[in-house]
A = this chain, B = another copy of it.
Amino acid sequence: MTIQEPATARPAGRPRSEKAEKAIIDATLDLIGEGTGLVELSIEAIASRAGVGKTTIYRRWSNKEDLVADALATLQAPLPRLAGVSVRDDLIVLLDSMRSEAGQVRTRCVMNIAFSESDRYPRLMERFVDIAVEPRRQAMREVIRRGIASGELRPDIEVEMSMAILSGAMIWHHKWGPADGLPADLAERIVDHLLPGLAA
């Protein structure tokens, strides 16, 4: 009976500051967003940016990888709502959400990391893929499958290959396209350029 709420039992003593925790995560994302690679990203810089002692960081995360993983997990942008009417429209919405996210500094640098440091931080990347990449992949997969089922797309196209082509085109522009933002109608142009080859 003395035990009331074991799940929320406070362990006595000063509670951890949620403000500090948020500041640490924000500082981490800020630094990554400014182009700091994972290797150069230092706990000291994060602490300084967050206005926090290093102790406060080490008390919560034992290493850089864990911290960054938690920080990236908070980025989880919402998936766009799909109308589900036409394949063309849905694909455009999906690709255009890639485009607009690519315009944000944070996403941009997270993508850089996903490209360059996947070899060095495999566990981190695995987690990042689960959180950010796979849901989008799944959404696009379903759009294409639905298109095949409805007869809008040829039944003999390879689903995964089509996804690779659509995403690849957007990634290519993201990386080597005009530096001053991608054109607003890019997603539309990509889809319309590809659809004739995929349509039934």
Contacts from A to B (Cβ < 8 Å): 35, 37, 39-40, 112-113, 115-120, 133, 157-158, 161-162, 164-165, 167-173, 175-177, 189-190, 193-198
Residue among A37, A189, A190 having the largest count of chain B Cβ atoms under 10 Å: A37
Q: Find chain B residues with CB under 8 A from A120 CB.
A: 35
Cβ 8 A contact of A39, one of B37, B112, B169, B193: B37
| Contact present for A167 and B172 (CB under 8 Å) | yes
Q: With A and B bound together, what is the CA distance between A194 and B158 in angstroms?
A: 11
Cβ 8 A contact of A189, one of B133, B161, B197: B161
The 8 closest A-B pairs by CB, nearest first: A197-B197, A116-B116, A168-B168, A168-B172, A115-B115, A168-B169, A196-B197, A165-B169
If over half of A's interface residues share one DSSP class (helix, strand or loop), that class is named, otherwise mixed; here it is helix
Known: A112-B115, A194-B197. A164 touches B172 (CB 8 A): yes
Cβ 8 A contact of A168, one of B39, B162, B165, B189: B165
Known: A158-B189, A193-B197, A196-B197. A35 touches B168 (CB 8 A): no
How distant is A136 from chain B, measured CB to nearest CB, in Å? 12
Q: With A and B bound together, what is the CA distance between A171 and B189 in angstroms?
A: 20
| Residue in B closest to A164 when the chains form the complex, CB atoms | B172
Cβ 8 A contact of A40, one of B39, B133, B196: B39
Q: Find chain B residues with CB under 8 A from A162 CB.
A: 193
Q: With A and B bound together, what is the CA distance between A100 and B40 in angstroms?
A: 32
| Residue in B closest to A163 when the chains form the complex, CB atoms | B172
| Contact present for B112 and A113 (CB under 8 Å) | no
